[in-house]
Chains A and B, each alone.
Chain A
């Protein structure tokens, strides 16, 4: 059943509605609810395929559903519609306004109503797609404040990598942090690249969601075998590669490959002079899980991330 989570009237002949699909059996034998959420950033579309695939599959196999599945494909519908990362007209990152306020402005109000609706889920997956600049292997990012609760879920999600990162005050206003702080376990999934859909990654995560649902008792159908992810906290660290100069970045390796120390990741070139301005080399032996997709770089632009021992 499709329902409206929150609706506000806009100035000119239109309303803004955030909708969800609720799937549940006629007679529930499991009280748990899993929520699949995406589209906080309007330029991140990888979650669209996952939402479609999950909704389609579960509706065709509803007999195996024991609990509740809520699917929220577009928390920032205007952003998705206008190819805008933030909230159009406000130049605001929606993932910096949670938990919102029911007494606040339109965006804060929307955020508060979304939180109210999602809170209480047994598990939430907030699916992101990096941004238009970077391609990521399927991964789950966890704030160290919530690692004990979240790692057991993340390890069953069929992702390639779990990254436990340090706490940051700025991140306190994210959707996931707000829910985790309220006691609703929320995993942040990053995969693929902005403005595109990588079906293979979507299929991989879809299997992970089915497996998690099976483990939670929400689903009694097919239980896919999931892969064991790399984990940043297992005596490993993440190394950041930044552009040493401004120019056009040409990559020589693909993400998800192992690289050797001093191996060339790519070059930064100047098409005007026809010269190579600089090389980007790996400073370590490790696994390249992020690579820059968007070729134009400023000095300092993120080129990649490497997991190393």
Chain B
């Protein structure tokens, strides 16, 4: 394992800002794996830290295939992680809205530019990503429809679902989108949580990534075969919203199969304690996402369902 600083900036009163990468094997740039980019992405960094541990063990056993290099970057934004702020410490900008970056530009553009220069030539790019809405996911692989997406390759992770997502204007400045434009096969990996560490889904994700590396001939690994992935698209997903605001009492969790008409959650009046609204499933399907905050604003997407009829 080689530890290297990929990008650094000197600060006035803080230690230098450093993006550190851990490299395994030598040779062609095979796979780059990126963890947290925002200060609340503990689960994403935890997954990468576990990958660093496993890859170090594999390297010591000679199981990184010759001529292949793997780079893992557990954290692109240590400054925000260390002060528990989601975005950049001074101006609140989001590094994952700055790609491909610009090394002569503003601070987060420079960070994105410096990191992207170091990682843009890898054949495969994996990013542990998070969703802006608070909730729990079924672990899945997400790929953007850029014209360069490779669904069959995404299935090789062995996750239960591969989700296809049509990029919106603000997605065009994310790492995943720009990796694809620069001809890296890019995949976003969603585990269950963001701020809270969920060891079970983290272990699942680490095993899936190692399985993918084994199937792509990058490492020798004897992990489980994983799932035969089902493919769904965000356009065909059913979003369930609450009609009134209040305390959110979820009755079902992400990953559960629900029937049409099944009760999913209750909204409770915050002052009077009465049930203000009941939320029922409009379709039969699997819950990809479930809201996980004590309160819900009116019309929040509290569940996202992959309908039973969605093609795989």
Contacts and interface: CB of A to CB of B under 8 A. Distances in A.
B270 to A, nearest CB: 5
Interface in B271-294: 271
B91 interface: yes
A173 B172 CA distance: 12
Nearest to A132: B91
Contacts of A8: 245, 297-299
Contacts of B104: 242
Interface in A3-20: 8-13
A122 interface: no
B241 A242 contact: no
Contacts of A245: 10
Interface string A87-105: 0011110001000000011
Contacts of B173: 169-170
A105 B90 contact: no
Given A105-B241, A247-B12, A299-B10, A92 B297 contact: no
B203 to A, nearest CB: 29
A10 B245 contact: yes
A298 B11 contact: yes
A255 B157 CA distance: 55
A11 B97 contact: no
A8 B12 CA distance: 44
Contacts of B295: 11-12
Contacts of A171: 169
B246 interface: yes
A17 B23 CA distance: 53
A270 B12 contact: yes
B106 interface: yes
B9 interface: yes
A144 interface: no
A112 B182 CA distance: 35
Contacts of A133: 91
B247 interface: yes
B271 A10 contact: no
B12 A105 contact: no
A11 B170 CA distance: 29
A170 B178 CA distance: 13
B185 interface: no
A92 B300 CA distance: 15
B56 interface: no
B83 to A, nearest CB: 14
A161 interface: no
B271 A272 contact: no
B20 to A, nearest CB: 18
A109 B241 CA distance: 12
Contacts of A92: 132
B10 A106 contact: no
A96 B170 contact: yes
Contact of A299 (B107, B241, B299): B107
Given A8-B299, A9-B244, A300 B169 contact: no
Contacts of A13: 270-271
Given A92-B132, A105-B300, A173-B170, A246 B245 contact: no
A246 B12 contact: yes
A302 B295 CA distance: 39
Contacts of B296: 11
Contacts of A242: 104-106
A223 interface: no
A170 B97 contact: yes
A105 B10 contact: no
Contacts of B107: 298-301
B146 to A, nearest CB: 12
A174 to B, nearest CB: 9
Nearest to A247: B12
B61 interface: no
Interface string B101-133: 000111111100000000000000000000010
Contacts of B29: none
Given A9-B244, A9-B245, A296-B12, A173 B298 contact: no
Contacts of A12: 270-271, 295
A172 interface: yes
B27 to A, nearest CB: 33
Contacts of B10: 245-246, 299
Nearest to B14: A246
Nearest to B295: A11
Nearest to B79: A298
B168 interface: yes
Interface string A130-141: 010100000000
A85 interface: yes
Contacts of A90: 132
The 10 A-B pairs of least Cβ separation, nearest first, read: A300-B107, A172-B169, A298-B107, A11-B245, A11-B295, A300-B110, A169-B172, A106-B297, A12-B270, A299-B9
27 contacts: A8-B299, A9-B298, A10-B298, A12-B270, A12-B295, A90-B132, A91-B132, A104-B299, A105-B297, A106-B300, A133-B91, A169-B172, A169-B173, A170-B173, A172-B169, A173-B170, A240-B105, A246-B9, A296-B12, A298-B9, A298-B90, A298-B107, A299-B9, A300-B108, A300-B109, A301-B91, A301-B107
Given A9-B245, A301-B91, 19 more contacts: A8-B298, A9-B244, A9-B298, A12-B271, A92-B132, A96-B170, A105-B299, A105-B301, A133-B91, A169-B172, A173-B169, A240-B105, A246-B9, A246-B12, A270-B12, A272-B12, A300-B110, A301-B106, A301-B107
